[in-house]
Amino acid sequence: MSRLREWLNQLQLSLFGDNDVPASSAKPISEKKAPTRGRLKSVDQMMSTPMPSLEPIEAPVPPARRARTVLLGAHEVPYTIERVRRRTVGMLVDHSGLRVRASSAVTVLEIERILQLRADWILKSLNKMQNAVPRVSFVPNLVVADGDVLPILGRAVRIFWRTGAAKMDAQVWLAQQWGGAAEAVLILRDVAPARREKAVRDALTAILLAYLFQRAQRYAVAHGLRYRLIVLSSAKTLWGTCRSDGTVRLNWRLVFLDVALVDYVLAHELSHTVHMNHSRLFWEKVAELCPDYKHCVRELKQYNLRAT
């Protein structure tokens, strides 16, 4: 029995491979030592150690437009850089001077290289802006008293407040006042003085929309145009816009301008329903709708939307 037990023990060692590694090469497996962290302080030591003073942390302030100067030819031109998210470098010359808009990835050296390439345009634009006549607001005060006159679509219109006056029908009013009357008159239902400004603006926007609908339909029929909708906006920089779905948005302040200018802005935006760009074909379409468009472009420049 003892020999059988010995034989079984040898068989077990052979099956599990314990004898494959020579004893001389076998190394004891030691536990991984934890990294030394230094000696821990006692509670008394921790309490006696002075805590470092904490300075208040201020939130980072985004950089403002930085004023710089660049030498363009013989002229030292001041300019400002506004860091924005965009792929290109934009330049604008207005009453405040030269402004550059670029991403933070564009270096000042690269910006000034681009300014050198556009030096002629920049100097010409700055000179033109310096000699330009300051533009003033063309929008009158809408808090009008009985008998006051407002410019509406190129005509001087006298405003009257009447108690119990019928609600104004803009289409009917246009047909009456533009039918050869010597003086145009707009009769509005009298309201409290605090509400008169809103009442006047509501009447003016209704008149402008009625006029635009009438003109847009004529353009569409005569020139084969298709638009979706005409709405008014209160933008401070644009006379009008046209979306790809055919929605035309026009500035409500056009009501104070001559009808020739209103017609041009409408023709301009309706032309975008055919060409969504300012290519040569686009301007040919504008000329088809408004042959005198170049004169209208010059006239519009005297009106300052930003001042309204």
Position 158 confidence tier, pLDDT thresholds 50, 70, 90: very high
Domains in the chain with CATH codes: 66-131 (no CATH), 149-205 (no CATH), 207-307 (3.30.2010.10)
Question: pLDDT tens for residues 236-245?
Answer: 889 999 999 9
- Tell me the C-alpha distance between 308 and 179, whole Å: 31
Does 61 score more than 50 pLDDT? no
Q: Is 155:210 a contact under the CB 8 Å cutoff? A: no
What is the overall mean pLDDT for the chain?
Answer: 81
Top pLDDT among 29 and 213 is at: 213
* Residue of 94, 75, 86, 129 whose CA lies nearest to 111: 86
Q: Is 297:128 a contact under the CB 8 Å cutoff? A: no
List the single range of 16-20, 200-204, 260-264 with lowest mean pLDDT. 16-20
Q: Is 187:162 a contact under the CB 8 Å cutoff? A: yes
* Residue of 154, 149, 138 whose CA lies nearest to 263: 154
List the single range of 25-34, 63-72, 138-147 with lowest mean pLDDT. 25-34
CB count in 10 Å sphere of residue 242: 19
Strand partners for 231: 249
- Tell me the C-alpha distance between 11 and 124, whole Å: 102
- Tell me the C-alpha distance between 196 and 183, whole Å: 22
Question: pLDDT tens for residues 170-228?
Answer: 999 998 877 666 678 999 999 999 999 999 999 999 999 999 999 999 999 999 999 99
Q: Is 247:212 a contact under the CB 8 Å cutoff? A: no
Q: Is 246:226 a contact under the CB 8 Å cutoff? A: yes
Count how many Cα atoms sit within 13 Å of the Cα of residue 209 in the half-sphere of its side chain.
14
What's the confidence (pLDDT) of residue 2? 54
Position 15 confidence tier, pLDDT thresholds 50, 70, 90: very low
Q: Using DSSP, state whether 77 is helix, strand or coil.
A: strand
Q: Does residue 300 come out as left (phi exceeding 0), alpha (psi in the -120 to 50 range) or beta?
A: alpha
- C-alpha distance from residue 41 to each of 95, 131, 282 (Å): 67, 77, 81
Q: Mean of the pLDDT values across residues 30-43?
A: 44
Position 135 confidence tier, pLDDT thresholds 50, 70, 90: low
What's the confidence (pLDDT) of residue 104? 92
List the single range of 10-19, 95-104, 150-159, 271-280 with lowest mean pLDDT. 10-19
- Tell me the C-alpha distance between 150 and 140, whole Å: 7
Burial of 152 (0-12, 13-18, 19+ CB in 10 A): buried
